[in-house]
Amino acid sequence: MSKTGEQSTLVQAAEIALQQAKNQGATAAEAGVSQSTGLSVTVRRGDVETLEYNNDTSLGLTVYFGQSKASASTSDLSVQAITDAVKAACGIAKHTEADAAAGLADKELMATEFPDLSTYHPWDIDAEQAIEIAMACEQAGFDVDPRISNSEGASVSSHQGERIYANSHGFLGQSRGTRHSLSCTLISDDDKGMQRDYWYDIARDAQDLASAASIGQRAADNTLRRLNAKTVKTGNYPVIFSSDIAPALFGQLTSAIRGGALYRQSSFLLDHLGKQIFPDFVHIHEQPLLLKGLGSAAFDGEGVATQTRDIVREGVLQGYVLDSYAARKLKMTTTGNAGGVHNLTVEPTAIEFEQLLKQMGKGVLVTETMGMGINIVTGDYSQGAAGFWVENGEIQYAIDEFTIASNLRDMFLGIQAMSNNVETRGNIRTGAVWIDNMMVAS
């Protein structure tokens, strides 16, 4: 790794922290140093509502005295500030109770290869250009239909950053990333009331973003189709989660197989390794080395090499989501997931979204969920929702103010198919998901 410019400053700060920890008697230490810059603009009804710049620098370090540990942080990268932070952490660690699971990740697991994953694409954009794009996006939405009566704003953001992670194993790794987004939220009304909806795009490379006009138009279309919403008769129905909200469903899977939930025995999937939790056609895997992936990384938050691996194969749970601490508590090995999963991919079945609707025939298409009614300990699931009534395989009308309820065990096993319009605007990638049966209540 070349040490030039800002990168050199971050590397030097990490090296100073580790050396100071060693000087003060720490048996091991790790440091993460980051620097990020960004621009965010929001316009509403043609006026600039917010304009924000950020330029943030931070250093976080953890020191170990045997298996006693403590952490400290500072936003000042001067030698004195780093020395003071290390001194504070060491002072705390000396009075902290030892924990047998504490410590750096094992040295032999450190990443040794650092491929270019195309995660860093700075956008040469200034505030005036961002304002112009946001205004064009919002206006494109207003131009769709006179029933688009108001706006909650259109936003453009661009952020870039670097992070150095180093530890006393001698590991030093750099990660750089950019994240750009464009969004619009609109309000429509008619004689039966008002509705709101939105659309957005997000990408590592601004060249990959959808156009401002298409974002505004899609936001308007989404808002208009929610007008004249009706209620749904309470009952049990098949349910399809649209591809833009289906990732949250698999987010519950990762929460349930995360190490912390498992060693605390607070997961409905406790002791399910090697057991059937989905139908046998379901394949879920991590792809940490995808080019431009929003979850791509060569190493995790502890320097451990990430790996392409199956989490669910043929419906059977193959692995958990572990960092080193949780792995030791469970008498297992870290899976390279300190900080979370990396591009969790749910392989779709070979079916278009329209065909998914036709195969379901009659039921509910959910396009929005609300609330916090999910219990990872029991798997109980209850959410407020909005969406559409489907009959004869086609969307008939909007429905809102209803709840959907089931248990995640039954929902996972009840998956019938996933469409091939895969959502890629996040760290969990999946198409729309058809579940055979849920309670729907108005």
Q: Where are the domains of the chain?
A: 5-37+51-109, 127-162+172-224, 235-441
Half-sphere exposure of 77 (CA within 13 A, CB side): 19
Quick check: 59 and 13 in contact, CB under 8 A?
A: yes
Q: Which residues contact 212 (CB under 8 A, 6 or more apart)?
A: 133, 134, 136, 137, 140, 154, 182
* pLDDT attached to residue 190: 82
Q: Which residues contact 60 (CB under 8 A, 6 or more apart)?
A: 31, 32, 33, 71, 72, 73
Residue 287 CB coordination number (10 Å) = 17
Quick check: 440 and 257 in contact, CB under 8 A?
A: no
Question: What are 429's two structure tokens?
Answer: 């990638």
User: Quick one: which of 37, 30, 29, 27 has its CA closest to 6?
Assistant: 37
Helix (H, G, I), strand (E, B) or coil at 89: helix
Residue 131 belongs to what H/E stretch? helix 127-142
pTM, full prediction: 0.94
Distance CA 409, CA 417 (A): 16
Distance CA 154, CA 285 (A): 34
Residue 325 φ then ψ, to 5° = -60, -50
* pLDDT attached to residue 2: 36
Distance CA 6, CA 355 (A): 51
Architecture of domain 127-162+172-224: 2-Layer Sandwich (3.30)
* pLDDT attached to residue 191: 78
Provide block-wise average pLDDT over 10 residues at a time, the chain (442 residues). Answer: 59 97 97 98 97 97 97 97 97 95 98 97 98 98 97 98 98 97 95 91 98 98 96 97 97 98 97 98 98 98 98 98 98 97 96 97 97 95 97 96 97 98 96 98 94
* pLDDT attached to residue 18: 98
For residue 417, give Cα distances in angstroms to 18, 184, 271.
Answer: 50, 30, 26
Quick check: 166 and 14 in contact, CB under 8 A?
A: yes
Which residues lie across from 345 on neighbouring strands?
A: 285, 429
Pick the CATH number of 5-37+51-109 from 3.40.50.300, 1.10.150.530, 1.10.40.60, 3.30.2290.10: 3.30.2290.10
* pLDDT attached to residue 7: 60
